[in-house]
Chain A
Amino acid sequence: QSVLTQPPSVSGAPGQRITISCSGSNSNIGAGSDVHWYQHLPGTAPKLLIYGNNNRPSGVPDRFSGSKSDTSASLAITGLQAEDEADYYCQSYDNTLTGPYVFGTGTKVTVL
């Protein structure tokens, strides 16, 4: 039922830069809807990481950044740290009956 597609997993060594893609369509990201990103460690409350495509809430390190282009978006993590190992989800607004608030399929980030 997820209308936003993410890679199931991404991995990287400490200190590296990784990116997570979020592919949508013309009914959500391509229609101009903002993309937001969440970090989730199992058993804890999901945390807002990026809002409005590329804005960080207070307290989120600047190692995390977001971008958006056409019908897709990306989350980049630079200087990867062990504590970044978590699940990451994108979210947007969809103007079809599947919405209106839709999430990505989720990406498991593993720090090697």
Chain B
Amino acid sequence: QVQLQESGPGLVKASQTLSLTCTVSGGSISTGDYYWSWIRQPAGKGLEWIGRIYTSGATKYNPSLKSRVTLSVDTSKNQFSLKLSSVTAADTAVYYCASFQGGTRNFFDYWGRGTLVTVSS
């Protein structure tokens, strides 16, 4: 069974870039069976999909975040990463990484526990 673990700084200053990494275990990130995705949840609010990346490096982003988001994948480390630039307090949230079944399926089958990122002024 695939397991995912988020890691990265828990505190980021406003206007700087948030960087998180997701380490995948229990399977290879290169199998091609999944897309790899990031989702976030601000305190007291709902879940928001951020973007997804395939093992080839092909990406798809949430239109509302597209100008600030960059996803990348490192197959040698079995990891994928999120960079969110020019952060503000509105980007304070728990960030989850997840495996995503694309095509006609369109659901997230395995998730990490999430990591809280706070944007400070």
A48 touches B46 (CB 8 A): no
B96 touches A46 (CB 8 A): yes
Contacts of B101 in A (CB 8 A): 51
A-B contact pairs, 28 of them (CB 8 A): A1-B48, A2-B47, A34-B104, A34-B106, A38-B108, A38-B111, A43-B113, A44-B113, A45-B4, A45-B96, A46-B98, A48-B108, A48-B109, A51-B101, A51-B107, A51-B109, A89-B47, A91-B107, A92-B106, A93-B106, A98-B64, A100-B49, A101-B37, A101-B106, A103-B46, A103-B47, A105-B46, A106-B47
Contacts of A112 in B (CB 8 A): none
**Interface: A24 (CB within 8 A):** no
**Interface: B32 (CB within 8 A):** no
- The docked-state distance in angstroms from the alpha carbon of A52 to that of B60 is 22
| B47-66 contacts to A (CB < 8 Å) | 47-49, 60, 63-64
Contact of A103 among B4, B48, B60, B106 (CB under 8 A): B48
**Interface: B105 (CB within 8 A):** yes
Min CB–CB distance A39 → chain B (angstroms)? 11
Interface size on B, residues (CB 8 A): 26
- The docked-state distance in angstroms from the alpha carbon of A100 to that of B98 is 16
Interface size on A, residues (CB 8 A): 28
Contacts of B96 in A (CB 8 A): 45-46
B: residues with CB less than 8 A from A are 4, 37, 39, 45-49, 60, 63-64, 96, 98, 100-101, 104-114
Min CB–CB distance B84 → chain A (angstroms)? 16
Contact of A97 among B37, B63, B111 (CB under 8 A): B63
